[in-house]
Amino acid sequence: MTPYRLSRPLGAALLAGSLLCAPPLFAQPAILEGERFHPEQGSRGMVATSHFLASQVAREVLAAGGNAVDAAVTAGFALAVTQPRSGNIGGGGFMLISDEDSDEVIAIDYRETAPAAATETMFQDEDGNAVSEWSRYTHRAAGVPGTVAGLSLALEKYGTLSLAEALAPAIRLAENGFAVPQRFVDGVSEAGERLTQWDSTRAMFFKEDGSPYEVGDTFRQPDLAATLRRIADQGPREFYEGETAELIAAEMERHDGLITLEDLAGYQPVIREPSHGNYRGYDVYAMSPPSSGGAHIVQMLNILEAYDIGQMGFGSANTMHVMAEAMKRAYADRSQYLGDTDFVEVPLAGITSEGYADELREQIAMDRATPSEAIAPGKPLPFESNETTHFSIADDDGLAVSNTYTINFSYGSGIAVDGAGFLLNNEMDDFSAKPGVPNAYGLIGGEANKIEPGKRMLSSMTPTIVKRDGKNFLITGSPGGSRIITTTLQVLMNVVDHDMNIQSAVSAPRIHHQWLPDELRIEAGFSPDTQALLEGKGHTLSQESAMGAAQSIVIEDGHFFGGADPRRSTSSAMGL
């Protein structure tokens, strides 16, 4: 993948703040007459993020001549300001970058790592029982953050802006503030008990008199602005070796945390090869371990490809049945085999092989559901040959970015680093606190995902790029914990199998099965008749309010179509 370099006028405009003040460029008029859902459109690029302010600054970067990586990094830092519940510099994630010119797709792994003092039994009591509160709401719940290093690496290798230029919009948003939307108010209210437990967090999310922010109030973050400015002035290593690192280490020392200055100084992101598969002639690239997403997206697609999903129809009982059966088997394998490939051998070639999918498909009967208790992790080894906030961005030079990053729970651990203005993740809960014991999302983990110093915890984050005839076609991904993988799967199937436009594809109701517990979770929108047929096949149904938030893009014939997921009220797709 060839590094990109750009003109200085764009950087000068970012630093001067003129882009944020520029009049908006409006997307082209809708051309999809007769559709119920209309995606945003553009001819020069597209941005889809979970916050309109982040979409705006990223779009302005593209409009001024920046590439998709420039826009992605600018959006990533802007989301850390405008969406502190999940956008972050205190967490980590994964980025896929596809370059049509070099026909290359690379994966940047900036997942958090376990501190050097972490131990396999650190979240177990003296009787060997896993204690969930320890891995979720304490300073020990935090892994070493990777976001600053990961975004900086992407910019350095594949962008055209300097880090200071990409940070400039985020710094202004933190210093000057932004009007609080309803989602912000609701989120703080729902998490109020956690956010008031720590003085640093209370000072960040509440007014000086202790009252909450209301819709339309201006929310300023001076500590975060100062942190971002230090990084802009001194480079990414400031976060890991400078004043910010000292603030993190001091926060840990005060509260029996584990992350040290040495842990921070030793952190490095990794460039990996993404998982790859083929589905009905489309090349599917998704995140490789320590994310489980790519392997199991490919595995489920391999199982499903033999069924005429398009003919069976969206939302039919048969379509939902075979999808659920494929999901069960993938999540069963996830529980045993997936982990950080720097520490464990993961049978990726076997899991993603078509031969293994054929074997699993033979277990599926069309007239009845297989009880989860009858499904065990399979045996992919004979088929061997010797991964929340998501955003998608594409430009008209053949560059596309799919990025998912997180601090795990909404507001992470709920602990803000005193004086630094950002929340700590609680990603240590994504390790297996004890093999066989489910984490907060009900996911079972095994020995492959046990806690080890320096290890990256298993993730469901699934940034995905689908190519057709060597050209970028679909850029997607989602937040949603254990539902990330199945949400991403369904957006892809809605586009490829059901010929939906991208807005329809992300708006359509979803299902989810993760093997254990043995229940098929469904959103509102599926007919009672279909639900009755599924129950007749033996599925236990569970109603869910919403699953995922898949900000997505489709590119066809030189036109860009953006789908902002309505499950997040601040979602926004913007084209140019």
Residues marked active site are found at 388
- C-alpha 187/C-alpha 194 separation (Å) is 11
Give the Cα-Cα-Cα angle 550, 503, 329 (nearest 5 degrees): 45
What does the DSSP 8-state code read for residue 427?
Answer: G
Tokens of 3: 């590094």
Listed in sequence order, the residues at least 6 apart from 34 whose beta carbon sits closer than 8 Å to its beta carbon are none
- C-alpha 155/C-alpha 108 separation (Å) is 11
Q: How many CB atoms lie within 10 A of CB 42?
A: 27
Tokens of 124: 């177990």
Helix intervals (H) in 138-236: 147-158, 163-176, 182-190, 192-195, 199-205, 222-234
Between the alpha carbon of residue 213 and those of residues 184, 200, 218, the distances in Å are 9, 16, 8
Could you identify the residue written with the tokens 């430009």?
A: 395
- C-alpha 128/C-alpha 121 separation (Å) is 8
Could you tell me the sign of the dihedral formed by the alpha carbons of 28, 32, 35, 41, in that order? negative
Q: Which residue in 119, 121, 144 sits closest to 425, CA to CA? A: 144
- C-alpha 342/C-alpha 324 separation (Å) is 31
472 phi-psi bin (left φ>0, alpha ψ -120 to 50, beta other): beta
The phi, psi pair for 179, rounded to 5°, reads -70, 130
- C-alpha 171/C-alpha 180 separation (Å) is 17
Q: How many CB atoms lie within 10 A of CB 562?
A: 31
Q: Which residue in 395, 553, 397, 550 sits closest to 475, CA to CA? A: 553
- C-alpha 50/C-alpha 288 separation (Å) is 23
- For the CA atoms of 253, 258, 261, 263, what is the dihedral angle to 10 degrees? 180
* Cis bond before residue 169 (omega within 30° of 0): no
Q: How far apart are the first and last CA of the chain?
A: 25
Q: Go through 414-445 and write b for each residue having 16 or more CB atoms within 10 A of its CB, e for each that does not.
A: bbbbbbbbbbbbbbbbbbbbbbeebbebebbb
The number of residues making up the chain comes to: 576
